[in-house]
Amino acid sequence: MEFSYASKLKCIKCGAEYPLEYILVCRKCNNLVEFEYDLKAVAALDFPAIPPRDGIWRFHPVLPIQSPDNAISLGEGNTPLIHCPRYAKELGLENLRVKYEGGNPTGTFKDRSSATAIGAAKQFGFATTAVVTTGNAGASIATYAARAGIRSVVFCYSKAAPSKLYHLEACATELVVFEGGYDEVAVAVQKHLDRLKIFDSDGRRSPYKHEGKKTLGYEVFLQLGRKVPDYILIPVSLGEMMVATWRAFREMKEMGWCDRLPKLIACQSSAANPVTRAFDEKKGIVPQQVGYTIAEGVAVGNPGLKGDRALEAVRATDGMAVSVEDDEIVDAMRKLAHAEGIWSGPTGAITMAALTKLVAMKKIDPAASIVSVVSETGLKGDYPPFPAEAIVLDPEKIQRILEK
Amino acid (1-letter code) at residue 182 = Y
For a second copy, the binding residues in 204-243 under the rule CB under 8 A are none
Q: What is the DSSP secondary structure assignment for residue 69, as one 8-state letter? A: G
Among 27, 28, 40, 338, binds a second copy (CB under 8 A): 338
Residue type, 11: C
281 binds a second copy (CB under 8 A): no
Separation of alpha carbons 113 and 233, rounded Å: 19
Site string (44-63) toward a second copy, x via CB under 8 A: ----------xx--------
Q: Are 104 and 160 in contact (CB under 8 A)?
A: no
Return the closest-CA partner of residue 321 out of 375, 349, 281, 286: 281
CB nearer to a second copy: give 174 or 318: 174
Instruction: Give the three-class secondary structure for 199.
Output: strand
Asked whether 335 and 75 are in contact (CB, 8 A), the reply is no
Asked whether position 292 contacts a second copy by CB under 8 A, the answer is no
On the 0-12 / 13-18 / 19+ scale of CB atoms within 10 A, 247 is buried
Candidates 25, 41, 177, 368; binder of a second copy (CB under 8 A) is: 177
* Cβ closest to a second copy, residue 107 vs residue 319: 107
- Of 59 and 383, the one with the shorter C-beta distance to a second copy is 383
Q: How many residues bind a second copy (CB under 8 A)?
A: 84
Give the interface segment with a second copy, choosing from 21-29, 63-71, 309-317, 340-348 (CB under 8 A). 340-348
Contact set for a second copy, span 382-401 (CB under 8 A)? 382-383, 385-393, 395, 398-399, 401
Binding test (CB under 8 A) with a second copy, winner from 12, 25, 43, 175 = 175
State residue 292 phi and psi, 5-degree precision: -75, 135
Cα separation values, 338 from 12, 377, 389, Å: 43, 15, 21
In the bound state with a second copy, the residue whose beta carbon lies nearer, of 274 and 378, is 378
All residues at 6 or more sequence positions from 180 whose CB lies less than 8 Å from its CB, including other chains: none
Name the helix (H) or strand (E) containing 320. strand 320-324
If the CB atoms of residues 184 and 365 are measured against a second copy, the closer one turns out to be: 184
Report residue 2: phi and psi, to 5°.
-70, 160
Q: Which residues of 24-33 are buried (b: 16+ CB within 10 A; e: fewer)?
A: bbbeeeebbb
Q: What is the C-alpha separation between 71 and 63, in angstroms, rounded?
A: 10
- Please answer whether residues 372 and 342 qualify as being in contact, where contact means their C-beta atoms are separated by less than 8 angstroms: no
Q: Is 25 in the site for a second copy (CB under 8 A)?
A: no
The least distance separating a second copy from the CB of residue 127, rounded to whole angstroms, comes to 12
The reply to whether 290 sits near a second copy by the rule CB under 8 A is no
Q: How far is the CB of 33 from a second copy (least distance, A)?
A: 25
Binding mask 294-333 for a second copy (x = CB under 8 A): ---------------------------------------x
Minimum CB–partner distance for residue 221 and a second copy (Å):
16
* Residue 143 found at the interface with a second copy (CB under 8 A): yes
Provide Rg for the chain, Cα atoms: 21
Minimum distance from residue 9 beta carbon to a second copy (Å): 26
Listed ranges 77-85, 231-239, 294-302, 304-312: which one lies at the site for a second copy (CB under 8 A): 77-85
**Touching a second copy, residues 86-105 (CB under 8 A):** 86, 100, 102-105
Distance between CA atoms of residues 351 and 20, nearest Å: 35
Q: How far is the CB of 158 from a second copy (least distance, A)?
A: 4
379 is a site residue for a second copy (CB under 8 A): yes
The residue within the footprint of a second copy, chosen from 167, 205, 210, 306 (CB under 8 A), is 167
Q: Which is nearer to a second copy, 175 or 290 (CB)?
A: 175
> Is omega for the bond preceding 384 within 30 degrees of 0, making it cis?
no
Residue 74 contacts residue 105 (beta carbons within 8 Å): yes
